[in-house]
A = this chain, B = another copy of it.
Amino acid sequence: MSDRQINPHISIDCVLFGYDGENLKVLLVQQVNSQERQPKGRMKLPGSLIYDDEDLDEAVRRVLYELTGLKNINMMQFQAFGSINRTSNPKDTSWLERFHSLNASIERIVTVAYIAWVKIDHHLKQLTSQYHACWLPIEDVGELAFDHNQIISAAILRLQKNVESTPSILYDLLPRKFTMYQIRHLHERIFDREFDPRNFHKKMLQMEYIIPLNDYEKDVSHRAARYYKFDRKIYNRSIHKVF
């Protein structure tokens, strides 16, 4: 790509979550040979070794754009992974050496993992095909390259924790207008357990920042459900601070 030097010891990886109304999804790409641009290897998180002359956050912006076409995503650092076994699979290391045209062999790589949650419909059409970027339902994710399954598991735990402390994250994932069913369903996907519909809806209706709209589902076979929207101003006012 240029004569910039690759740093073979440090990488970044991006875990992007989206929700399409049915599934909690994660953004993946395929290991592609840099010369042939053909799918060759396993699926993986969008990520890469960094250049010697770039900072971690810069690398995240560059890599996400180069591999998926996505821009202006607010990725947050959440955990570094540095197990000495994470590059022990020769399939991964030989792909990496080919991909970056490295002369030396890959040793342990510490990867700094980033996380984000986005409205999937805003970011579905922007995806580029060069690395076969796609949104895959969490439960359909098979064996990924490196320790990327483990990174996704850690990211889901982080997402759960963040939703518990900052419920507004749900509304970053939901479409701009959503039904009560969708809020509950998204909860169920994130926490991987069922919530009683009646109790759940009752609690949700107590949240002043969930505003009912004069707008209902159309062309559905069941009774058309009402749409709601999230009001961030009311939410910010409602956050309980001890002091």
Contacts and interface: CB of A to CB of B under 8 A. Distances in A.
Interface of A: 7, 9-10, 50, 52-56, 77, 79-80, 82-84, 107-108, 110, 112, 164-165, 167, 187, 195, 200, 203, 241-243
15 contacts: A7-B9, A9-B10, A9-B110, A10-B82, A53-B84, A54-B84, A55-B82, A55-B83, A55-B84, A77-B79, A80-B80, A80-B110, A164-B242, A165-B165, A187-B243
The quantity of this chain's copies bound in the complex is: 2
Nearest to A207: B242
A53 B195 CA distance: 45
A82 B56 contact: yes
B167 A52 contact: no
A50 to B, nearest CB: 8
A52 B87 CA distance: 13
Given A10-B10, A50-B82, A56-B82, 20 more contacts: A7-B108, A9-B9, A10-B82, A10-B110, A52-B108, A53-B84, A55-B83, A55-B84, A56-B110, A77-B79, A80-B80, A80-B110, A82-B112, A110-B112, A164-B242, A165-B165, A187-B243, A195-B243, A203-B242, A203-B243
Contacts of A83: 55-56
Contacts of A9: 7, 9-10, 110
A52 B164 CA distance: 38
Contacts of A50: 82
A164 B200 CA distance: 26
A22 to B, nearest CB: 21
A196 to B, nearest CB: 9
Given A167-B242, A187-B243, A80 B108 contact: no
Contacts of A165: 165
A187 to B, nearest CB: 7
Contacts of A200: 243
Q: Which of A52, A56, A187, A241 has the most CB of B within 10 A?
A: A56
Contacts of A241: 164
Contacts of A79: 77
A243 B50 CA distance: 41
Contacts of A80: 56, 77, 80, 110, 112
Contacts of A54: 84
